Structure 1
Amino acid sequence: MEELVYLDHAATSWPKPPEVASAMMDALQHSGANAGRGNHSLAMGAGRVLMRTRSLLADLFAVSNAQDIAFTHNTTMGLNMAIRGALHAGDHVIATMTEHNSVRRPLEYLRRTQGLEVDYIRVNEEGQLNLQELQTAFKHNTKMVICNHSSNLLGSILPIGDIGDLAKSHGAIFLVDGAQSAGALDIDVTSMNIDLLAFPGHKGLLGPQGTGGLYIAPHLDLEPLMLGGTGSQSENIEQPLVRPDRYEAGTQNAVGIAGLMAGVKKVRSIGVDVIGEREWSLAQTMMEGLTVIPGIRLLGPALGAPRTGIVSFVIEGHDSAGIAHRLDREYNIAVRAGMHCTPLAHTAVNTLASGAVRASVGVDSTEQDISRMLAAMKELYGSARSTK
């Protein structure tokens, strides 16, 4: 069988750059102690790994103080820290129909248990919202506006600068889910008025799974999601106020964070703009080729419009899971099918019953990968007589 074509980068980037594995092995062998829990050389080495990675991330997102970035295990953890740390009974939240369950489920939990008010702003079939509708959704008790920068189903890109301006004008906290944009789209937390930014280490930043972070604006004090040892102010019964210790209870994943540092360096060496343009171009090629399939419906922004490297589709009369299964077993092409943990987005584009196939490119995807994907799809479904 031919070499694997991996088109599931929206779930996690793969393969990782060789520098990532090398950095992790080096950290495991030479600085594999507990950061902040000792003055010996190994512990100090682990601490330097965390400090340098935090600084690189701060530069990437235009964060003025690297200590305002807390490491997390993934975007989901960061979103939970933000949502459950800032919101209380009686608060009103505005989110969108493109949100991932990592946003929706915490919000619905707080709605059920604390009486939180939640409104989800509609999006059109291309995944775009109406800013005027967002404007009219604000209430006297609107505490937070939440949106993903790019939909993990549609690839659509929301105007987070404009949304941030609206949130600021109403005195609301602005939380951005950067799961699909960190490393592929420019993010400037200051100019975009972002108060909270949750991001993964294992997707566009090319690091290992189990890494990520949450930027917390200096004027915010979230209630920590976890309490425990920090290596600082251990004589106090309360969680320390100093950052990032306040939000990083327990032993940090220093080995994984070393890999993340290497991944971020790789992204910076290529350039976020270059990566974004390359992924957009590959997505356009894929969309153009898929249009010959009878009964196909491409989801999200139209051909030529801005999007991330995500192309999702359905084919009338064919099961989405079955399409993904055949691509994997017969052609060694990895895509993802189903709900993609975003039923609201599926509702918005009327695919909740069918789910969708999602092919997503990454920094190392090639024209050859797209050609093999398109050739397989044409063989399987290019004829109206193709079997289900």
Structure 2
Amino acid sequence: MKPVVYLDHAATSWPKPPEVMKAMQIAMEEAAANPGRGSHQMAVKASRVLFETRRVLSRLFGVHNPNDVVFTHNTTEALNLAIKGLLHKGDRVVATMVEHNSVRRPLEFLKRTLGIEVEYIPVNDQGELDMLKLKAALSKRPKLVVCSHSSNLLGSILPAAEIGELAHEQGAAFLLDAAQSAGCLDLDVNAMHVDLLAFPGHKGLLGPQGTGGLYISPSIDLEPLLHGGTGSQSEEKEQPVVRPDRYEAGTPNTMGIAGLKAGVEKVLELSPQQIYKHEWGLTQRIMEGIQNIKGLRILGPERGKPRTGIVSFVSAERDSSGIAFQLDREYGIAVRAGMHCTPLAHEAADTLQTGAVRVSVGVDTSIDEVDTLIDAIEVIFDKT
């Protein structure tokens, strides 16, 4: 097997920084007890791991109170907590056509079971949101506005701060899905009018899988997704009201959260601005390298425009899954092909029937790796 050129960072970043693995090992050795469930030294160390991770995440996202950051296993769980914890029978929601299934499926579930109303605002084939239709939808006074900060298919970046401001003008809460933006775009929950921020630990924050979280504005109270032991107010039959305990029933992933802290510290050291600049430059190189290949169409924003570290493409002559399989088996290049869990975005890009090949770069991706990809694609298409 050839050495891996890993270009699937939009799914999970890899390799993880050495600091992440070291932090996880130390936590396993020194803080492996249950946080919040004991007063002995190891339990106290475990609690400190969680608090310090909340603190660095708060620094990254502009959160005033670290206890407003709750841990989940991934962005999907965070989005489910936000959506199912906030909405009730008959509520109205505005979302967009670039939403991931982690947003769309909970919304459609509540549409079927509670009768909520959902309107998806269209985007064009470059992933740009129709702001006139958004404003018209907001005039109907929805309870919640949901927005994917960056499309996991198109790489387009939505104007989150403007959407949040418009949502607040109409009295709606604003939920931002930062699955593709946390770590590479500036995020400030107050400046961007964000009430709920769902984020993964295992992507741009460079942490391990099984980590993520949700920022919950102090002005919002969600019904917990899980009910159970928290180590606090154990004599009560109801879930505690104090944060973060209210939303963190059960034993947490302390080792993973320790790794997440190290990953976030690495992001803060490099800065999201520099990470974005690096990844954007690589996407432009990929687009320049493959744009003239016959029958190949690049999705999302045109070259030179803002995008996160994603370049997706389709071929009029080749199957997307076949291209990805060939890149893997013949060239040792890891990319992803298929529907990418975002069918409405595929509809906007006219790839609902074909899927797409998605190349996604990361903080450690090199120019040599990108050039290896370009050369491999040129050879594959020349063979046709």
Specify the alignment match of 2:99 in structure 1.
99
Kept after mapping to 2: 8 A contact 1:91/1:141: no
1:317 CA displacement: 1.4
Question: What do residues 251-293 of structure 1 show as CA deviations (whole Å, max 9, x unaligned)?
Answer: 0110000000010011111111000110000000000001121
Specify the alignment match of 2:234 in structure 1.
234
Kept after mapping to 2: 8 A contact 1:299/1:311: yes
Specify the alignment match of 2:272 in structure 1.
272
- SS of equivalent to 2:165: helix
Kept after mapping to 1: 8 A contact 2:150/2:157: yes
- SS of equivalent to 1:119: strand
Separation (CA, whole Å) in 1 of partners of 2:181 and 2:226? 27
Runs of 4+ in 1 over 6 A off after TM superposition: none
- SS of equivalent to 2:154: coil
Separation (CA, whole Å) in 1 of partners of 2:48 and 2:335? 38
The answer on 1:246 being equivalent to 2:253 is no
Separation (CA, whole Å) in 2 of partners of 1:18 and 1:187? 25
Separation (CA, whole Å) in 1 of partners of 2:380 and 2:333? 13
1:138 CA displacement: 2.1
- TM-score under structure 2 length normalisation: 0.99
Amino acid at match of 2:305: A
Specify the alignment match of 1:5 in structure 2.
5
The answer on 1:34 being equivalent to 2:28 is no
1:167 CA displacement: 0.3
Specify the alignment match of 2:325 in structure 1.
325
- TM-score under structure 1 length normalisation: 0.98
Separation (CA, whole Å) in 1 of partners of 2:225 and 2:263? 27
Specify the alignment match of 2:373 in structure 1.
373
Change in CA separation of 1:170 and 1:358 when aligned onto 2, cut-off 3 Å: same
Amino acid at match of 2:26: D
Kept after mapping to 1: 8 A contact 2:141/2:171: no
Kept after mapping to 2: 8 A contact 1:197/1:214: yes
Specify the alignment match of 1:201 in structure 2.
201
- SS of equivalent to 2:25: helix
Backbone CA RMSD of aligned residues = 0.8
Specify the alignment match of 2:72 in structure 1.
72
1:132 CA displacement: 1.7
Kept after mapping to 2: 8 A contact 1:206/1:260: yes
- SS of equivalent to 2:145: strand
Kept after mapping to 2: 8 A contact 1:320/1:337: yes
1:312 CA displacement: 0.1
1:3 CA displacement: 2.0
Specify the alignment match of 2:177 in structure 1.
177
Separation (CA, whole Å) in 2 of partners of 1:29 and 1:308? 37
Amino acid at match of 1:126: Q
The answer on 1:135 being equivalent to 2:135 is yes
Superposed, 1:350-369 pairs within 5 Å as 350-369=350-369
Corresponding residue pairs, total: 384
- SS of equivalent to 2:143: strand
Question: What do residues 14-68 of structure 1 show as CA deviations (whole Å, max 9, x unaligned)?
Answer: 0100111110010001110000000000100000000000000001000000100
Separation (CA, whole Å) in 1 of partners of 2:277 and 2:170? 34
Separation (CA, whole Å) in 2 of partners of 1:140 and 1:108? 19
- SS of equivalent to 1:142: coil
Kept after mapping to 2: 8 A contact 1:92/1:139: no
Separation (CA, whole Å) in 2 of partners of 1:139 and 1:264? 38
1:237 CA displacement: 0.6
- SS of equivalent to 1:185: coil
Kept after mapping to 1: 8 A contact 2:98/2:345: yes
Superposed, 1:161-172 pairs within 5 Å as 161-172=161-172
Unaligned runs of 5+ in 2: none
Separation (CA, whole Å) in 1 of partners of 2:350 and 2:264? 37
- SS of equivalent to 1:375: helix
Separation (CA, whole Å) in 2 of partners of 1:17 and 1:302? 32
Separation (CA, whole Å) in 2 of partners of 1:140 and 1:284? 40
Separation (CA, whole Å) in 1 of partners of 2:367 and 2:2? 16
1:2 CA displacement: 4.0
- SS of equivalent to 1:95: strand
Separation (CA, whole Å) in 2 of partners of 1:233 and 1:88? 27
Separation (CA, whole Å) in 2 of partners of 1:374 and 1:2? 17
1:141 CA displacement: 4.7
Specify the alignment match of 1:111 in structure 2.
111
1:139 CA displacement: 4.8
- Aligned residues: percent identity? 62
Unaligned runs of 5+ in 1: none
Specify the alignment match of 1:312 in structure 2.
312
Specify the alignment match of 1:341 in structure 2.
341
Kept after mapping to 2: 8 A contact 1:90/1:141: no
Question: What do residues 101-129 of structure 1 show as CA deviations (whole Å, max 9, x unaligned)?
Answer: 00000000000111110000000011011
Separation (CA, whole Å) in 2 of partners of 1:374 and 1:189? 38
Amino acid at match of 1:27: A
Specify the alignment match of 1:289 in structure 2.
289
1:231 CA displacement: 0.4
Separation (CA, whole Å) in 2 of partners of 1:294 and 1:265? 43
1:359 CA displacement: 0.3
1:133 CA displacement: 1.2
Kept after mapping to 2: 8 A contact 1:143/1:173: yes
Separation (CA, whole Å) in 1 of partners of 2:368 and 2:4? 12
